[in-house]
Amino acid sequence: MNGHLKKVMAAAALFGIATVLTAAIAPDTSLAFHERKEVAGPAVVFGAEPEPALTEEIQFLAWKVNSLATEEPYADFKDAEVTITRDGETFGPFPLRGVRGTPGRYQTRHIFTEVGEYESVLSFKKGEEAEVHSVDFKFNINDRADMEIPKRRGGG
């Protein structure tokens, strides 16, 4: 190999390493947020990751919250929690956790075992206010087996 080719290959390798490291340490921006609602001042946008949301997989439900007035990330939640409902059965409440390094982004982590339509209800207080606010979002969990190739033995 000549010297120029070696330099080009080394530069390409360094670029690849830098890309992987940047993706590993940068806040996750791949989350597909879907529905936006306004509640008590902030705008709340809901999404799930990874998508499609599947049974038997670790699933993050996430909320991006911004001030309507300034569009800045809203980070003054108190007593924030999420309940999840499916076919009239309620699960939770689950504590809402902030995503480190991403102000205004919150999430919960779950493993869903049943296919179907679910509803999440996010409840919170703004700062030191006594009033509890809530906002609901519907989402679907799909069957992981529908995407498996080859399918598990005995699993359909």
Whether 156 is covered by a domain: the verdict is no
What is the per-residue pLDDT across 67-125, written as a single tens digit (0 to 9) for each?
988 889 998 888 999 999 999 999 999 999 999 999 999 999 999 999 999 999 999 99
Name the residue with higher pLDDT: 110 or 126. Answer: 110
Range of the domain at 16: 1-28
Whether 153 is covered by a domain: the verdict is no
Does residue 16 surpass a pLDDT of 60?
no
CA dihedral 17, 20, 26, 32 (to 10 degrees): 160
Q: Residue 87: what are its φ and ψ, rounded to 5°?
A: 50, 40
- C-alpha distance from residue 39 to each of 63, 97, 117, 123 (Å): 13, 19, 23, 10
Whether 140 is covered by a domain: the verdict is yes
Query: Are 13 and 75 within one domain?
Result: no
Whether 48 is covered by a domain: the verdict is yes
Does the pTM surpass 0.85? The reply is: no
CATH number, domain of 100, equals 2.60.40.1930
Whether 85 is covered by a domain: the verdict is yes
Name the residue with higher pLDDT: 153 or 52. Answer: 52
Query: Are 101 and 128 within one domain?
Result: yes
The predicted pLDDT at position 147 comes to: 86
CA angle (32, 37, 43) in 5-degree steps? 85
Whether 58 is covered by a domain: the verdict is yes
- What's the total number of domains in the chain? 2
Q: Residue 5: what are its φ and ψ, rounded to 5°?
A: -65, -40
Average pLDDT over residues 26-54: 78
Q: What's the pLDDT band for 24 if we cut at 50, 70, 90?
A: very low
